[in-house]
A = this chain, B = another copy of it.
Amino acid sequence: MTMNVYIKDLAGHVGGEVTVQGWLHNKRSSGKIAFLIVRDGTGLVQGVMSKGDVDAGVWERVQQAEYEASVRVRGLVRADDRAPGGHELGLTDLQIIGRSSDDYPIQLKEHGVDFLLENRHLWLRTPRQVAIMRVRDELVKAIRDFMYDRGFVNVDTPILTGAIGESAGTLFQTDYFDLGTAYLAQTGQLYNEANAAALGRVYCFGPTFRAEKSKTRRHLTEFWMLEPEMAWCDSDCNMRFQEELVSYLVSRALERSRAQLEELERDVSRLQAVTPPFPRISYDEAVDRLQALGSEIVWGDDLGAEDETLVAQDYDRPVFIYNYPKQAKAFYMKENPDDPRTVLCDDLIAPEGYGELIGGSQREDDYEKLLARIREQGLPVESYGWYLDLRRYGTFPHSGFGLGLERTVAWVCGVHHIRECIAYPRTLNRLSP
């Protein structure tokens, strides 16, 4: 019996006979010679078979095998620089494990995106989607390594929550036994703040839900978000941490996902420019610049996606815009002592039009100021009892942020729409498969 080998590991078996298990990705056959491309999730390999070299039964099975049939092939590994992956198999056998059929929905041609999304469970088998999923996996692991190596404690925050949140209008809700309504969390931040008082530096990293009726290429109703929270860290410390993290993620993809970025035809020179420090401009400067460019923004407005793209176009790496007006941001952000009309916060905007990767802030640690802000925004004070406790019992300077995983994957991969950056995207119009 020959050894089962993953396609990615063929380099270690040159000159030997191996078995590869996978799916038939493509086939060309003349009367005498057949070229098969097999994929196994770790890569693609071309196999070559001559009719004269094999039994009639084997040749017959090669003729039968359809696109996306699952197969077990045996062959001799040959180094071949021209082949994808650098190796070729001289095939001696093929077994069909599971037939496919001519009605396989996704053919090697262009399809409309609605059709592809409806067949997402099969679309994921194509090389471009495999590459995106592998880059996502690498970035997830890079995030976990980065946080762990710096002593952060991963504390998972709850999805099902009582009344608390930024704004109930954009929350999904469900009945919860005899306790009334539960909401699906938009953020773990408030819990992270409690956890930071227990453990120092913490993070959560899980799915997040927004019932927003947004139909842009940057919005999903369910997406993954990394949210670190750091005790004894001010807004400047927060931005320094963010640029270190983002630079690390990009360098890790360049180091370990090179084959995938090539598959995606990503211009890696754009990623190589991403090193700290990142440029920082204040909200005030951003508004001046936008007005000079003809934008109708006035001081006090939040920046829209177009504004962000306009500001970011001057830079070859992500840019921080910091210290926004209080009225444009959430109640928990710390008042700026140097300009109390503003708060100590930052948005990190990706280059090349990929938009906001991160929103972060130092948190308001003064009990009275926080209470006043909750009241000003008309939020129910009674729901924030435990959150206010953090300012009553040993309050402390702390900061944190949220990094959107799919937006980061889209930027690193150079993918236009974030719906391709999660396996089963959920949008206003899509809940399946």
Docked complex Cα distance between A213 and B431 (Å): 27
**Does A396 contact B156, Cβ atoms closer than 8 Å?**
no
* Interface segment, one of A77-85, A126-134, A338-346, A410-418: A126-134
**Does A191 contact B133, Cβ atoms closer than 8 Å?**
no
A322 at interface by CB-CB < 8 Å: no
Could you say which of B21, B176, B389 contacts A232, with CB atoms under 8 Å apart?
Answer: B21
Docked complex Cα distance between A182 and B432 (Å): 10
CB distance from A87 to the nearest CB of B (A): 17
In chain A, positions 1-25 with a C-beta closer than 8 Å to chain B are 4, 6, 8, 21-24
**Does B156 contact A198, Cβ atoms closer than 8 Å?**
no
Residues of chain B within 8 A (CB-CB) of A422 are: 156
Residues of chain B within 8 A (CB-CB) of A196 are: 41
A184 at interface by CB-CB < 8 Å: yes
A98 at interface by CB-CB < 8 Å: yes
Docked complex Cα distance between A191 and B120 (Å): 10
Most buried by B among A4, A40, A69, A424: A424
Residues of chain B within 8 A (CB-CB) of A148 are: 137, 141
* Interface segment, one of A28-36, A52-60, A200-208: A200-208
A interface vs B, CB < 8 Å? 4, 6, 8, 21-24, 40-42, 68-70, 97-101, 104, 119, 121-122, 124-125, 129-130, 133-134, 136-137, 140-141, 144, 148, 151, 153-162, 172-179, 182, 184, 191, 194-201, 206-207, 209, 211, 213, 221-222, 224, 231-232, 365, 386-387, 389-397, 422-424, 426, 428-433
Top 3 nearest A-B pairs by Cβ distance? A41-B200, A98-B395, A121-B194
